[in-house]
Amino acid sequence: MARILIVDDSPSQLMGIRRIVEKLGHEALTAEDGAAGVEAAKRELPDLILMDVVMPNLNGFQATRSITREATTKHIPIVLVTTKDQDTDRVWGMRQGAKAYITKPFSESELADMIQQMLGGEAPPAPASEE
């Protein structure tokens, strides 16, 4: 079980993503803006961060840059989960240190596949077949 930090200022998005994360058997931690996300990342040292971009105080690009430049948190993979779908947004997000980018709206399987990929497993194991 991984610990996954979800950073999003929308309560409905937070709950939706949290439901998917918990359904996959992982522990979900949440933060409601970029600044709180940076603090939670430093305090909790999660295995993965799912970061919104458009947020008050500190946006997701700024928070990602802060987390990936900090010695104690730079190893944590960050996936930007955002409505910003322009190529320039993707390029900028990756330059800030994000490992991947997924645009809203996304399907549950799309997010689940991304989480598995980021945690090092390509996909959940298939049930063992009888020999």
Render pLDDT for 9-63 as a digit per residue (tens, 0 to 9). Answer: 999 999 999 999 999 999 999 999 999 999 999 999 999 999 999 999 899 999 9
Residue range(s) defining the domain that contains residue 55: 3-119
pTM of the predicted model as reported, rounded to 2 decimal places:
0.91
The CATH number linked to 75 is 3.40.50.2300
pLDDT of residue 120: 87
Residue 28 pairs with which residues in a beta bridge? 4
Rounded to 5 degrees, φ, ψ at 21 are -60, -45
Say if 127 falls within a structural domain.
Answer: no
Domains of the chain: total: 1
Cα angle 101, 69, 114 (rounded to 5 degrees) comes to 20
Say if 131 falls within a structural domain.
Answer: no
Say if 125 falls within a structural domain.
Answer: no
